[in-house]
Amino acid sequence: MSTQQQLQEHLYRIDGRGYGAYKDIAGKWHWENGTCLYVDHVQADPFASPSRLRVAVPWTRPGHLKGNPDRLRGASGYVGRLARQTTGKVQAKRGSGRSGQGYLDAGGQELLDRTAVVLGPGEIEIRLSLGLPAAGRRVLGRTASDLLQGMIQSLRETLAFSPSQWEQLRQWADVAEDQTVLRQRLKEAGLVAFVPDGARLPRKSGVSDLPLEPGKVIPFASPPSMRVTLSVPHRGEICGMGIPRGVTLIVGGGYHGKSTLLRALERGVYDHIPGDGRELVVTVASAVKVRAEDGRSVAGVDISPFIADLPAGQPTADFYTQEASGSTSQAANIMEALELGCELLLMDEDTSATNFLIRDARMQSLVHRDHEPITPFIDRVGELKDKGVSTIMVMGGSGDYFSVVDQVIRMNAYRVADVTAEAQEISERMPTGRARETRGEHWEFGQRVPLPGSINLRRRNRVRAEGRGLSTVLLGDETVELSGVEQLVDASQTRAVATIMAYAHQHYVDGRRSFGEVLDLVYLDWEQGGWECISPYRGHPGDLAWPRPHEVVAAFNRLRSLKTSKGFAPR
């Protein structure tokens, strides 16, 4: 059995040697009181990705976490943040390259399923990475020893939990459970989204997901006609705005808070941490934000419900392009969302193609419909509703939509009013004069089958499937650009997307299974075997967070080499 003292002696002994001498510390080291350090991977040099470590600290898992994955997810979120604060205090740059730099992937404002913390029944496992210290390329053994001792000591002290920390832990678990339950309640209540009274939606800045300072925020208040009360296990009855199934328009003047509300709804597919301001803002789990994304590639999507008769005669029932336009990309984004079972589309005029949303009477007179390939969204939104797909749309620029919607919400100085009756009255009094333009009433949500030969994971004969920041996946020789996938919210999800793509391709993409079937199988493996079965970093996939199937398939869809065939039976 290797002990803490032996590790210390060993590190002292290799002090001053070449960096490769660190290799020998891989393995398991026993600390006093049952704490263990696992060194899973030792970096090759001070400039390479930091070494991967795990620290396991004994604890007795509280009974309220037992058998409830949502509570565990909430509690892990809390423990991860606590541990990150602690280890952050110990680390500092200590030498060359990444010496002394540590990373604990505790996450941001969303409570995602992460791999950084495992709350087992008898121990807490914290997974982190740390640059083992060096001077130039020489081992700084004494520094390394101090660093590891200090880090483990402070982790142990922190994870002993004070009474108020136990209380916080419970609160984070409660918050995750409440949000999950609330999201499930939507369906029974005939709703697609819910925003509680008192929610604080705006963020600090365009580049920060932290809440805007309390003094500057107008808290959310529901209009009486849309007020509903839902009950959750811990907070009890909560009151707020329920957005029913169907088509909902958010209108209002510029800078009055429309996009802020929509962004909160986009993020409502995830749970938020206590104090975020968007706790209990929930949307149905399959909600997808779609936008125009010109320049993206499209592989075999049936966009014919929205786009037909293109000037060069390209087929749009099986549409391929390396460079989609604003409208064709938005059509592809919608059809891809529907393919995976999306029940709620979220759209903002700020990020939509105008000609995709609307074609007014005057334009209909000037440009004959035979010369316009686009069937605008306004003429399909009712059929989508009949097929069980709701829409929430921000639209400050055109009142033509009043004729096709079920609810109209108006934002005025960040306050919400239900103006549905008024909008209906206006649409009767002031006809738009436009004719409904569609090509064919019968259309389906197709299923595509990814063809394995069109996906190449290898680069110079090695598998490359990596996330880079929030919006880039490197797969084989390709760089997949994901900035148009707005519900990807965490770089750890992006890393997970890359990992899942490789796993899916190696195991399930066979030229017969549809995207939906492939992803179902991957998620089943994860449920049964955990991350360890999907990630190549056995024992230490410490920096991943679960994306939804939608975000994984979104990355496949943007692979420029992708080829697909039509699936047979719908899912």
Q: How far apart are CA 233 and CA 74, in angstroms?
A: 15
The reply to whether 278 sits near ligand ADP by the rule CB under 6 A is: no
User: Taking each helix axis from N to C terminus, what angle separates 141-158 and 4-13, rounded to the nearest 10 degrees?
Assistant: 150
- Residue with the two structure tokens 């002696």: 9
CB closer to ligand ADP, 284 vs 395: 395
* Partner whose footprint covers residue 202, from Mg ion, ligand ADP, none (CB < 5 to 8 Å by kind): ligand ADP
Residues 6 or more apart whose Cβ sits within 8 Å of residue 100: 91, 92, 93, 94, 130, 131, 133, 143, 147
CB closer to Mg ion, 19 vs 356: 356
Instruction: Report the nearest approach of ligand ADP to the CB of residue 345 (Å).
Output: 18
User: Strand 191-196 to strand 282-283: parallel, antiparallel, or no bridges (unpaired)?
Assistant: antiparallel
Report which of 461, 560, 541, 448 is spatially closest to residue 503, judged by C-alpha positions.
541
Among 127, 258, 296, 434, binds ligand ADP (CB under 6 A): 258
Question: Taking a C-beta distance cutoff of 8 angstroms, is the pair 209, 486 a contact?
Answer: no
CB closer to ligand ADP, 239 vs 435: 239
Task: Name which of residues 497 to 556 contact ligand ADP (CB under 6 A).
Answer: none
Burial of 58-77, coded b for 16+ CB within 10 Å and e otherwise, reads ebeeeeebeeeebbbbbbbb
* Partner whose footprint covers residue 218, from ligand ADP, Mg ion, none (CB < 5 to 8 Å by kind): ligand ADP
Q: Given the rule CB under 5 A, which residues bind Mg ion? A: 259, 350
Question: Taking a C-beta distance cutoff of 8 angstroms, is the pair 7, 29 a contact?
Answer: yes
Q: How far apart are CA 509 and CA 514, in angstroms?
A: 8
* Partner whose footprint covers residue 316, from Mg ion, ligand ADP, none (CB < 5 to 8 Å by kind): none
Question: Taking a C-beta distance cutoff of 8 angstroms, is the pair 114, 74 a contact?
Answer: no
- Draw the binding track, 41-80, toward ligand ADP (x: CB under 6 A; -: no contact): ----------------------------------------
CB closer to ligand ADP, 133 vs 257: 257
* Partner whose footprint covers residue 554, from Mg ion, ligand ADP, none (CB < 5 to 8 Å by kind): none
Q: How far apart are CA 393 and CA 439, in angstroms?
A: 23
CB closer to ligand ADP, 101 vs 354: 354
CB closer to Mg ion, 206 vs 215: 206
Task: Name which of residues 179 to 208 contact ligand ADP (CB under 6 A).
Answer: 201-202
Q: How far apart are CA 81 and CA 177, in angstroms?
A: 18
Question: Taking a C-beta distance cutoff of 8 angstroms, is the pair 343, 390 a contact?
Answer: yes
Report which of 173, 282, 288, 174 is spatially closest to residue 228, judged by C-alpha positions.
282
CB closer to ligand ADP, 83 vs 292: 292
* Partner whose footprint covers residue 239, from Mg ion, ligand ADP, none (CB < 5 to 8 Å by kind): none
The reply to whether 109 sits near ligand ADP by the rule CB under 6 A is: no
* Partner whose footprint covers residue 260, from ligand ADP, Mg ion, none (CB < 5 to 8 Å by kind): ligand ADP
The pair of three-digit structure tokens given for residue 439, joined into one six-digit string: 């090509």
CA distances from 14 to 6, 18, 41, 91, 206 (A): 12, 8, 18, 21, 48
The reply to whether 218 sits near ligand ADP by the rule CB under 6 A is: yes
* Partner whose footprint covers residue 414, from ligand ADP, Mg ion, none (CB < 5 to 8 Å by kind): ligand ADP
CB closer to ligand ADP, 257 vs 305: 257
Task: Name which of residues 223 to 252 contact ligand ADP (CB under 6 A).
Answer: 252
The reply to whether 414 sits near ligand ADP by the rule CB under 6 A is: yes
CB closer to Mg ion, 193 vs 475: 193
Provide the binding-site residues for ligand ADP, judged by CB under 6 A. 201-202, 216-218, 252, 254-260, 411, 414
